[in-house]
Structure 1
Amino acid sequence: MFQPIYPMRTPRLALRPITVGDLDDVHAWQSRPDVVQWMAGAEPRTREQSRASVLAMANEDALRAEGDCLTLAATTEAGVVGTVELVWRSQQDRTAELGYVFHPDHGGRGLATEAATALLDWGFDRLGLHRVYARCHSGNTASARLMTRLGMRQEAHHVESYLFRGAWADQLVFAVLAQEWRAGQQQAGTAGP
């Protein structure tokens, strides 16, 4: 079993498992059309649908087996501002998929980048991952920019590769290898003003 020591701390965030007490904060973004617009099949959620989502995420506190998802609440003094997740896609290939959702009211301040960086650090250093990838709808430019900020390279642009809200959609795939991640983090740590 692989589980971070909680809370994982960054300069402005504490990352920890979701709890039932996070329902109000999670529902605040899951109920917004501008947040779910890029999620396949997702519509703004009712409070009861958010409750079911929170209960499911509350069980995603560790990676026990291939296919498991680790979902962490990104918290500030304002409460839960978003979530980051790592899905263990292949034990043999040491591969995982990164995901994230943040409340737009907390956007533009680098919080999603900070949270994803902490989770990627943990995945490469503690889980021993070789490669992490992330995917997004080609129209989700904010997500593509975040992946680029994280040092991920765009590996693919799959044309009309999946049905999205009744129409064929393009998907972008970004990835980063462990050695690329470490080199990028080392360079970021030694970069001057």
Structure 2
Amino acid sequence: MPLYKTITVNPSTKVLIWKIEESFDVLSKHIQLTENCTNRVVNMKSEIHRRAFMSIRQLLAIEGYTDHDLYYDENGKPHLNDDKYISITHSFNFSAIIISDMEVGIDIEKQRPKILRIAHKFTPIEEYRTIANEDALMRKLTIVWCAKESLYKSFSEKSVSFLQHIDVDEFDLDHDRTTATVTYGAKEVTYDIDFLEFEGFTCAYALISNRN
């Protein structure tokens, strides 16, 4: 069972990362899906998406949950029926969840040069022009994207703009932590961001630290 990594963030918050190496049939063992989720899987055209979907259910099972304990609100945000907070992500052959007593978000992304071309769409790119090394720039921008995606998932307002409403504070690649803020309408919410890099992927997860 390729549980890749478990991170105990604090006594009430845990991150679990799965490396997807098994077939769909193996990942489906001992997993009982709801009727709705069964239909979702049947209609998925991508095999990696189907396997990622089931790997998430395997991660839930590790924490004592079943598919029946998970539901989604009108914005597509996942919830657990015991009132704990959860966020879900997958990218290529990795998937992850974060479960906590506080509002959280998580994202995994593959590090790809493509992000250099689209960075202006989600962050003020002029802030990063002093980074001459292209690999370092790619890594840093991927962390920024993951941080913003994790905040977007937690904040859960579809009209929030990565570029206009989410700011990630400056950070050093040698460290694994920063902060970020969502400012939207009358709301301002600050999050603590932790990130890690592994096998050409980046994962960032956000925990709410202050709300105004």
Structure with max Cα Rg: 2
TM-score normalized with structure 2 length: 0.33
